[in-house]
Amino acid sequence: MHMASQSIFRNFDYYDLGLIDYKKAWDLQKEIFNKRLQNEVNDTLLLLEHPHTYTLGKVAAKENLLYNDDQLKQQGVSVYEIDRGGDITYHGPGQIVGYPIISLSQWNEDTHKYLRGLEEVLMLTCSEYGLKTERNSKFTGVWLEDRKIAAIGIKVSRWITMHGFAFNVNTDLSYFNGIIPCGIIGKKVTSLSRELGKNIDLNEVKLVIVEKFKEVFGYDGFTEIKNLLSICGTTEDSNAIVK
C-alpha cells in the first residue's frame, strides 16, 4: 500500500456542471481521466445532476430493472450499462451526483479506504443538516437505519478514480419504483428533503460537500472553475476562484 507524503501540497479543481446528460458527463469523465493519468490536469471533482436515468454497473442483474421499454419511455428514463462497480441505481433532478477523478497514489492506494472516504464525506454533509447517518456492514453507501440516502459506485484504474456517488437531496423517490436499488431487497430509499420535511438549496449542499471532500481527502485547497471548456484545455479560464 502506498500513502502520499504529507509534505506534498494537494489541490483539486471543482466544477459545478448543473444538469447534464448522462452520456455527455460519462464522456467528459473519460476525457478528464486520460488527462489526469498524464498529469495534464489536477485532481478534479465534478458535481452535477442528471435527467432521469438508470445505470447498471458491471455486475448488475438485468432483472433488477423492473420497468419495461414502454414504461421507461412513458417515464422519460434513459438506461445505460456502464463500467463502474455495483448494481443498478437511479439518477435524476434534485439528486447531487459527484464524480471525483483523483489520483489515489497521491493520497492512499486503497480502494476500500477510498469508498469509506466517500461515505464519510456524505455522512459529514448529512451531519451539517442534523441527520445522524451510518454505514451498513453489508452494503456500501450512507444509511439512516434501513433507509439509504446515498449510493456509491466507483471505478479505479491505474489508481485514478472515476464515477462516484449519488446523494438524494430533493430527489423524486418514485423513480426508484422502477428498479431494485443496488439490487438490495427489503431496504428503503430516502432523501435529505424527506428526512427534514422541506426542500433544500442544492447549491448550498454542494458547497458543504466540497468542503467535506477537501477535509476527508486531506487537500490543502481547491479551485472552483466556472468555465467548463477549461477542463478540456481549449480556453483560458478567467473565472477561477481559489479556496
- Residue 36 to residues 5, 12, 42, 44, 156: CA-CA distances in angstroms? 19, 11, 7, 9, 13
Q: Where are the domains of the chain?
A: 11-242
Edge-first strand listing for the sheet containing 78-81: 78-81, 53-56, 88-91
DSSP at 203? H
- CATH of the domain spanning 11-242: 3.30.930.10
How many Cα atoms occupy the beta-carbon half-sphere of 154 within 13 Å? Answer: 27
Q: Which of 86, 107, 100 is nearest to 45 (CA)?
A: 100
Q: What is the pLDDT along the chain (243 residues), one digit of tens a residue?
A: 445 544 578 999 999 999 999 999 999 999 999 999 999 999 999 999 999 999 988 877 888 899 999 999 999 999 988 888 778 889 999 999 999 999 999 999 999 999 999 999 999 999 999 999 989 888 889 999 999 999 999 999 999 999 999 999 999 999 999 888 766 677 799 999 999 999 999 999 999 999 999 999 999 999 999 876 656 654 344 355 656
Q: How far apart (Å, rounded) are the C-alpha atoms in residues 1 and 24?
A: 34
Q: How many CB atoms are located within 10 Å of the residue 108 CB?
A: 18
Cell of 153: 459506485
Q: How far apart (Å, rounded) are the C-alpha atoms in residues 164 and 190?
A: 19
Sequence length of the chain is 243
Q: Is 156 helix (H, G, I), strand (E, B) or coil?
A: strand
Catalytic residue numbers? 182
